[in-house]
Amino acid sequence: MNSILLKNGRVVTADSDAVCDILIEGETIVSIGRNLSAEGAQVIDCTGKLIMPGGIDPHVHLEMPFMGTFSSDTYETGTRAALHGGTTTVIDFILQKQGNSLRSAFEEWSGRATGNAVGDYSFHMAVTDFNPGTKEEIKDMVAEGITSFKTFMAYKGALMIDDAQMVGLMQEVKKHGGLVTAHATNGDMIDTLIAQHRAQGKLTPLYHYLSQPEVTEAEASGRFADIANYTGVQAYIVHLTCEGALNQVRRATERNQRVLVETCIQYLVLDASLYEDEANGAKYVMSPPLREKKDQATLWAGINQGLVNVVGTDHCPFMWEQKLMGKDDFSKIPNGHPAIEHRLELLFSEGVNTGRITPQKFVAVTSTNAAKIFGLFPRKGTISIGADADLLILDPEKKHTISADTHHMNVDYSAYEGWELTGKIETVLLRGKVAVDAGETKIAKGYGQFIKRGKTAF
Ligand code: URP
Ligand code: ZN
Ligand code: ZN
C-alpha cells in the first residue's frame, strides 16, 4: 500500500490551525500529529506551506448542452484543470430534458463522465419538468446518491419551472430528506427586458447586464425562500450575486429559516464595468451578470456573517468562437464563465492575503461547508483520521500570473488574464495519490470516481 508522510505543514481546517504531520496510507489519512515517522513512506517536506482540504466546487457545468452548443470542458479537461487549482471534487448538474425522465438524464451524464474524469465528481439533478413521473423518481435519485435537486426560475422554455412545480418538487424532496437549490432570478421579467432591448436595437453585451437588474434576483430569491419556508424543505441558492438577494436571505433568518447561499468567485472579484468594453464584454456574459462594487462588499461581509456559506465557480466555459455566436445580439451569447482552475488561488490572494477572510474561513467556504451541505462530510471536506486524503499544499508567499497560455481549462481566453496572485497551490493529493505537483499532472483520466452523496449534515 502506498504511504505518504507530509511533514511540518501548517494544517488548516475550518476549525483548527496547527503545524503538524499527516500520514496517509492508501487512499485515506491514518495519523495526524507531531514528529510522525513511517518506514518506506514518501516524505514531502511542507515547511512554510499550508496544507488544506482539497477544494469542493459544487457548481460546475462540464460538456453541458446549453444555448445551442456545449460547454467546452469535458470531464477529463475540466476535472484536470480543477485539480491544478486544488479542487479535488466537483459537483456537476445533470439536466433533465423536458418531457423525459430523470433516469435517462442520469444515464446520459454518467456516460460522459464514467472513465473520463481525472478528479472526483458527483451530480445534482436539475428538475426541469416536475410531473407525476418525475415525482416518483425523486426517491430513486436519492438512492443513487443524488440528494440535491436544482431548479431554474429562469431560461423559460428550456429549463425553467413554474411556482406550481416548485411547490410540488419541494414537498417531494422534503419527504426524502433532500435539498432544493435554485437559480433564483425572475425569468419572465428578464425575458421581457431582453425583448425590449432587442426591439430597441440595443444588442451589445452591456444589455445582457441591463436585462437582469438586481430586482430580478432579489424577487426570485425571496419567492424561493418563501416557498421553501412553507414546504419546510432545506433551500440553497446557487450563484447569489447581490445585496438585494442577500437581504432576502437575511429576512428569512428573522422567521428562523436558514437559506443556504453560494456565491461564486467572479462575483467577489469582478464587476459590471467590464460590460462597457464592447469587444470583450461577451467574456463576462453569465447569468446572473456581474454586479456593482457595493454588491461585492455585501458578499465579502456575508461570508464573515455566515450568510454566504460557499464560494463556487459556476464554471461553464465557452471558446471565444462560441461566444461569437452572439456578436450581433447579446441574447445569443452562450452564458458562462471559466473559473474552475482559479477559484482557490483567487480567493486566497484576494481574500486571505488581503485580510478579508481568515484561512479557516477560506477552508470553510471552499470545501468544508459544501461537504457538509451536500452530504460528502466527513469523507471529504476536512483533514481527519479516516477521511479521504484529498489535500492541497499551498505556498502562501509565491507569486504567479494567470494566463490562457498556461491554464489547463479547455478555453482559449482567461477572464483573469495577467492577474498577479500571491499564494500558489504546488501539490495536490486525491485519495492518497499525488495528482498534481509543480504544474504537472500525475494521474490519468479514469482515476476520478463518482461519489455517492448522503444527506445534508450542516
Ligand atoms: O451563465 C451561466 N451561469 N451559465 C450556466 C448556467 C447557469 O445558469 O448556471
Ligand atoms: Zn444558473
Ligand atoms: Zn450554473
Pocket perturbation via mutation, ligand 1, pick of 314, 318, 331 by most ligand atoms within 8 A of CB = 314
According to DSSP, the β-strands at 234-237 and 259-264 are parallel
Residues in contact with ligand 1 by the CB-under-6-Å rule are 61, 183, 286-287, 314, 316, 335-336
pLDDT in tens, 268-316: 999 999 999 999 999 999 999 999 999 999 999 999 999 999 999 999 9
Tens digit of each residue's pLDDT, the chain (458 residues): 899 999 999 999 999 999 999 999 999 999 999 999 999 999 999 999 999 999 999 999 999 999 999 999 999 999 999 999 999 999 999 999 999 999 999 999 999 999 999 999 999 999 999 999 999 999 999 999 999 999 999 999 999 999 999 999 999 999 999 999 999 999 999 999 999 999 999 999 999 999 999 999 999 999 999 999 999 999 999 999 999 999 999 999 999 999 999 999 999 999 999 999 999 999 999 999 999 999 999 999 999 999 999 999 999 999 999 999 999 999 999 999 999 999 999 999 999 999 999 999 999 999 999 999 999 999 999 999 999 999 999 999 999 999 999 999 999 999 999 999 999 999 999 999 999 999 999 999 999 999 999 999 99
Global pTM reads: 0.98
What are residue 11's DSSP bridge partners? 18, 51
- Sequence-distant (6+) residues with CB within 8 A of 52 are 11, 12, 13, 86, 359, 362, 363, 366, 367, 383, 391, 392, 394
Which residue's CA is the nearest one to ligand 1's atom 7? 287
**pLDDT at residue 1, rounded to an integer:** 85
Which residue's CA is the nearest one to ligand 1's atom 4? 336
The amino acid at residue 380 is K
Which residue's CA is the nearest one to ligand 1's atom 3? 287
Q: Which atom of ligand 1 is nearest to the CA of 159?
A: 8
Query: Could you tell me the CATH superfamily of domain 3-52+382-396+422-440?
Result: Urease, subunit C, domain 1 (2.30.40.10)
- Sequence-distant (6+) residues with CB within 8 A of 217 are 184, 185, 186, 240, 241, 242, 244, 245, 288
100 phi, psi to nearest 5 deg: -110, 175
Where along the chain do its domains lie? 3-52+382-396+422-440, 56-373
Q: Which CATH number fits domain 56-373: 3.30.2320.80, 3.10.150.10, 1.10.1510.10, 3.20.20.140?
A: 3.20.20.140
